[in-house]
């Protein structure tokens, strides 16, 4: 796999012959017949590879993913629990200008959500003046009264966030969902980059691509920033439910990347002074920051589910006394609830006095009479989502549903309208994707990851998920989706030069 030096004219034969993304916005072509000046060089490089070469390297990449144990768990399939996350070898490329919009929009959104969480667990100004309906928050299953009055370091509740973005037919980014509890998938961002470096060094050589390999270092730095005051050398641990969790590979990966212990609930204890310790062969060691990958309900059996064997008894007491920082904080789920999501543009204006940089997708709250009526009248045109589900489960895509599926959805809406929201079906952008039938357009979304301590840093690019099934807009891995490497160019000049240092 030598350096690509003989670049072809885009009109010459290549793997994209016959590739037609219309009527959708294409991440490589936009709405034009050929790429912009910033992306033309990458297009030319891809054109030098034939489909057989792409397929061979893709097969090698999948074998390597399995050998490395880069898998996720599908609980619904009893015969094969561990699966590799399908990896498409054609990268999604973002210009520097596109990334600036995403980065500033994510930072704005995370700042507003943290201010919102501080407010609803303290003075509740935004609820008292009716900007956000109080019942929507205080009766939310993710609202935790136990957090009232707790002052997390730096005012940060959401330390790690994943913002799900989609792009419409005009190329405008919209926020589809916030993930402020325990967002997963960032390990694939880094591993996808490493995979591309091994499988396609010739394609990447000389391109100035923003790095992603320092995520673990950045994450640890932010977690140290929010350690309890007065600790000179804080200890950070990653708390996992254990080997049977679907994201256990990621837990191992992140602990290794940060250089911190990976622990389970049985490895920690809270003493009579409400201080957290880790059991080691040398005795108890103080713990000051817990990056927890366990849901609220199972985190502390003294405070929540008394039957939980996954968490640590007394952890909430330790956090309330300021002896330990939990990342993400307990109770953050109220900010990424799908119904509260509809109010985030108002939340941004309320706390920051700014217009949202990244707009929401239009959302109808079925718990409100107007939203329910509109949804029922337009069920065949809308996407209906249960507010408490994740992973793509429970979603009804009206334009692609049968009459029986729509009738079932209507019955569920009438029985429990507060459990649903609806949105128009966005014409998700597409990206060239290697399929059994050649290179074809497939729908994608984007999940940039941010980490917040005193301020917020956003990992360049994020996780591009691709709906591998023809015609599907469901990108979740549990529903047959895959991933791509996401390249963010360092600048907006033509990306054809060879000889500049490739960044990873």
Tokens of 342: 């509809």
> The whole model's pTM is what?
0.90
Tokens of 478: 């549990």
> Whole-number mean pLDDT of the chain?
89
Position 427 scores a pLDDT of: 87
Tokens of 97: 């200008």
Q: Which of the residue ranges 273-277, 421-425, 450-454, 488-492 would you say has the lowest mean pLDDT?
A: 488-492
* Spatial CB neighbours of 73, under 8 Å, sequence gap ≥ 6: 81, 82, 83, 244, 245, 246, 247, 248
Q: Which of the residue ranges 143-147, 217-221, 385-389, 395-399 would you say has the lowest mean pLDDT?
A: 385-389
Helices (H) and strands (E) in the chain, counts: 14, 22
> 80 burial class (0-12, 13-18, 19+ CB within 10 angstroms)?
exposed
CATH of domain 364-424: 3.30.1490.270
DSSP summary character for residue 26: B
The average pLDDT across 164-168 equals: 95
Cβ atoms of 485 and 92 within 8 Å: the answer is yes
What band does 73 get if pLDDT is binned at 50, 70 and 90? low
Position 63 scores a pLDDT of: 83
- Flag whether pLDDT at 393 surpasses 80: no
Looking at per-residue confidence, does 130 or 35 come out higher? 130
pLDDT digits (tens, 9 = 90+) for 416-433: 998 899 999 888 999 999
Position 44 scores a pLDDT of: 85
Position 7 scores a pLDDT of: 38
Q: DSSP labels for 280-315?
A: ETTEEEE--EEEE-S-HHHH-TTTS-TT-SSS-TTH
What ranges do the domains of the chain cover? 40-98+184-208+427-488, 101-177+213-352, 364-424
Position 338 scores a pLDDT of: 86
Cβ atoms of 240 and 248 within 8 Å: the answer is yes
Secondary structure, 3-state, 151-188: CCHHHCCCCEEEEEEEECCCCCEEEEEEECCCCCCHHH
The average pLDDT across 25-32 equals: 91
The average pLDDT across 47-66 equals: 85
pLDDT digits (tens, 9 = 90+) for 345-391: 999 999 999 999 999 999 999 988 999 999 999 999 999 999 866 65
Position 454 scores a pLDDT of: 97
Position 367 scores a pLDDT of: 87
Position 226 scores a pLDDT of: 98
Tokens of 370: 């107007």
pLDDT digits (tens, 9 = 90+) for 180-236: 999 999 999 999 999 999 888 888 888 899 999 999 999 999 999 999 999 999 999
The average pLDDT across 461-465 equals: 95
* Spatial CB neighbours of 121, under 8 Å, sequence gap ≥ 6: 147, 148, 149, 150, 331
The average pLDDT across 26-40 equals: 86
Position 3 scores a pLDDT of: 33
Task: Count CB-CB contacts under 10 A for residue 231.
Answer: 14
- Cα–Cα distances in Å, from 369 out to 61, 124, 139, 340, 374? 51, 25, 18, 16, 9
Position 75 scores a pLDDT of: 53
- What distance in Å separates the CA atoms of residue 110 and residue 106, rounded to the nearest whole number? 6
Enumerate the β-bridge partners of residue 422.
Answer: 364, 384
pLDDT digits (tens, 9 = 90+) for 265-321: 999 999 999 999 999 999 999 999 999 999 999 999 999 999 999 999 999 999 999
Of 466, 463, 461, residue with least CA distance to 482: 466
- What distance in Å separates the CA atoms of residue 213 and residue 199, rounded to the nearest whole number? 17
Instruction: Give the neighbor-by-neighbor strand order of the sheet with 268-270.
Output: 268-270, 276-280, 283-286
DSSP summary character for residue 214: T
* Spatial CB neighbours of 310, under 8 Å, sequence gap ≥ 6: 241, 242, 264, 265, 294, 298, 299
Regarding the domain delimited by 101-177+213-352, which CATH topology (the fold level of the hierarchy) does it fall under? Rossmann fold (3.40.50)
CA dihedral 359, 362, 368, 370 (to 10 degrees): 130
Cβ atoms of 395 and 409 within 8 Å: the answer is no
Give the percent of the chain with pLDDT over 70. Answer: 90
Q: Report helix, strand or coil for 85.
A: coil
- Flag whether pLDDT at 477 surpasses 80: no
Of 158, 449, 455, 178, residue with least CA distance to 330: 158
Position 474 scores a pLDDT of: 78
- Flag whether pLDDT at 59 surpasses 60: yes
| Pairing verdict, β 289-292 and 438-447 | unpaired
Instruction: Give the neighbor-by-neighbor strand order of the sheet with 382-386.
Output: 364-365, 420-424, 382-386, 396-397
């Amino acid at each position: 796999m030598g350096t690509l030096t003989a670049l072809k004219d885009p009109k010459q034969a290549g793997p994209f012959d016959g590739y037609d993304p219309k009527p959708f916005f294409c991440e490589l072509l936009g709405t034009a017949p050929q790429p912009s000046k910033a992306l033309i060089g990458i297009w030319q490089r891809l054109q030098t590879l034939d489909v057989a070469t792409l397929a061979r390297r893709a097969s090698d990449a999948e074998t390597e993913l399995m050998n490395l144990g880069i898998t996720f768990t599908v609980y619904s399939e009893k015969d094969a629990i561990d699966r590799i996350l399908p990896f498409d070898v054609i990268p999604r490329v973002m210009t520097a200008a596109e990334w600036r919009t995403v980065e500033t929009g994510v930072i704005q959104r995370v700042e507003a959500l943290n201010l919102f969480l501080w407010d609803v667990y303290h003075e509740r100004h935004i609820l008292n003046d009716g900007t956000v309906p109080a019942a929507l928050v205080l009766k939310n299953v993710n609202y935790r009264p136990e957090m009232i009055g707790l002052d997390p370091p730096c005012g940060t509740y959401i330390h790690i966030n994943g913002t799900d973005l989609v792009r419409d037919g005009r190329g405008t980014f919209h926020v589809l969902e916030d993930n402020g509890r325990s967002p997963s998938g960032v390990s694939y961002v880094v591993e996808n980059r490493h995979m591309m470096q091994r499988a396609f060094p010739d394609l990447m050589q000389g391109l100035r691509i923003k790095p992603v390999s320092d995520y673990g270092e950045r994450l640890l730095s932010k977690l140290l920033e929010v350690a309890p005051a007065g600790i000179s050398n804080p200890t950070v641990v990653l708390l996992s439910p254990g080997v049977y969790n679907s994201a256990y590979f990621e837990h191992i990966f992140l602990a290794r990347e940060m250089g911190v212990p990976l622990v389970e609930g049985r490895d920690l204890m809270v003493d009579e002074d409400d201080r957290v310790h880790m059991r080691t062969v040398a005795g108890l060691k103080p713990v000051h920051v817990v990056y927890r990958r366990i849901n609220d309900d199972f985190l502390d059996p003294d405070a929540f589910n008394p039957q939980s064997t996954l968490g640590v008894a007394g952890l909430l007491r330790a956090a309330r006394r300021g002896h330990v920082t939990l990342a993400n904080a307990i109770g953050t789920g109220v900010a990424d609830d799908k119904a509260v999501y509809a109010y985030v543009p108002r939340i941004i204006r309320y706390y920051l006095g700014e217009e949202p940089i990244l707009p929401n997708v239009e959302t109808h709250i079925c718990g409100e009479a107007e939203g329910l009526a509109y949804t029922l009248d337009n069920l065949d045109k809308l996407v209906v989502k249960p507010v408490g589900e994740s992973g793509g489960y429970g979603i009804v895509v009206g334009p692609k549903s049968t009459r029986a599926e729509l009738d079932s959805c209507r019955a569920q809406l009438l029985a429990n309208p507060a459990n649903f929201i609806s949105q128009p079906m966005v014409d998700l952008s597409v990206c060239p994707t290697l399929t059994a039938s050649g290179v074809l357009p497939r729908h994608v979304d984007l999940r940039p990851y941010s980490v917040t301590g005193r301020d917020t840093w956003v990992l360049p690019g994020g996780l591009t998920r691709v709906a591998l099934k023809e015609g599907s807009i469901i990108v979740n891995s549990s529903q047959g989706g895959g991933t791509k490497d996401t390249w963010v160019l360092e600048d907006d000049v033509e990306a054809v030069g060879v000889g500049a240092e490739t960044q990873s």
